[in-house]
């Protein structure tokens, strides 16, 4: 049975809005429209990779396929920093909608992984690539807020690789780890 058939229409909407909301929340943390476009392209690529991975009956794969099959966030012209509170509420709603579902925990961690992919899509600062930060402090803070909205702050998370999460460098402390330390 498809995931869409197992949830209410409101839950399905929240689940579909989650990836765009998480990505847009981080993309609007810092930078201009050009940087946002590049970061949202990274989000689209991460969604496409999830579909290629497959996983019939998998919450994450079904949501990724549904999201790519529709216009993001009701075809809005693009997120702005003024939209950030609503985006974070949409992230929290997506996490709540996934709560009782098989694969709900994986979905919530996937949203954080998508937000992280967006944050890492563009280097910030520097000159001709020298001295640039891999992730701006405002994006680090936004990423922590997304994780907190999903109830994952301080819990192991990262980019999804099959069913496992890869270790990463904590961009808040700069150390190799498996957790996002509270700032």
CA 127 to CA 118: how far, in whole Å? 21
- Mean pLDDT of all residues in 103-118: 90
Three-class SS state of 133: strand
Q: Which of 15-19, 27-31, 104-108 has the lowest mean pLDDT?
A: 27-31
pLDDT score recorded for residue 9: 92
**pLDDT at residue 29 in the model:** 86
- The predicted pLDDT at position 167 comes to 35
- 175 lies in some domain: no
Domain assignment present for 101? yes
Q: What is the pLDDT of residue 179?
A: 38
139 lies in some domain: yes
Strand boundaries in the chain, DSSP class E = 160-161, 164-165, 168-169, 176-177
Sign of torsion over alpha carbons 47, 151, 24, 5: positive
Count up the domains in the chain and report the number.
Answer: 1
Is there a domain that residue 166 lies in?
no
Range(s) of the domain holding residue 98? 3-155
Q: Is residue 39 part of a domain?
A: yes
Quick: pLDDT tens for 147-183. 999 988 765 544 443 332 333 344 444 444 333 333 3
Query: Is 124 domain-assigned?
Result: yes
Residue at 110 is within a domain: yes
Report yes or no on 164 lying in a domain: no
The percent of residues above 90 in pLDDT, for the chain, comes to 25
């Amino acid at each position: 049975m498809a995931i869409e058939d197992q949830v209410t229409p409101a839950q399905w909407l929240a689940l579909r809005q989650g990836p765009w909301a998480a990505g847009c929340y981080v993309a609007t943390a810092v930078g201009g429209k050009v940087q946002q476009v590049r970061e949202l392209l990274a989000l689209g690529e991460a969604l496409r990779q999830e579909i290629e991975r497959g996983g019939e009956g998998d919450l994450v794969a079904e949501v990724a396929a549904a999201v790519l099959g529709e216009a993001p966030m009701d075809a809005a012209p693009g997120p702005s920093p003024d939209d950030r509170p609503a985006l974070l509420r949409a992230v929290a709603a997506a996490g709540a909608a996934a709560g009782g579902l098989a694969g709900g925990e994986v979905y919530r961690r996937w949203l954080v992984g998508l937000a992280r992919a967006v944050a890492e899509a563009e280097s910030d600062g520097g000159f001709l690539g020298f001295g640039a930060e891999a992730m701006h402090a405002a994006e680090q803070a936004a990423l922590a807020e997304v994780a907190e909205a999903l109830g994952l702050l301080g819990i192991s998370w990262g980019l999804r690789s099959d069913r496992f999460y890869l270790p990463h460098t904590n961009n808040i402390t700069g150390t190799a780890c498996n957790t996002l330390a509270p700032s």
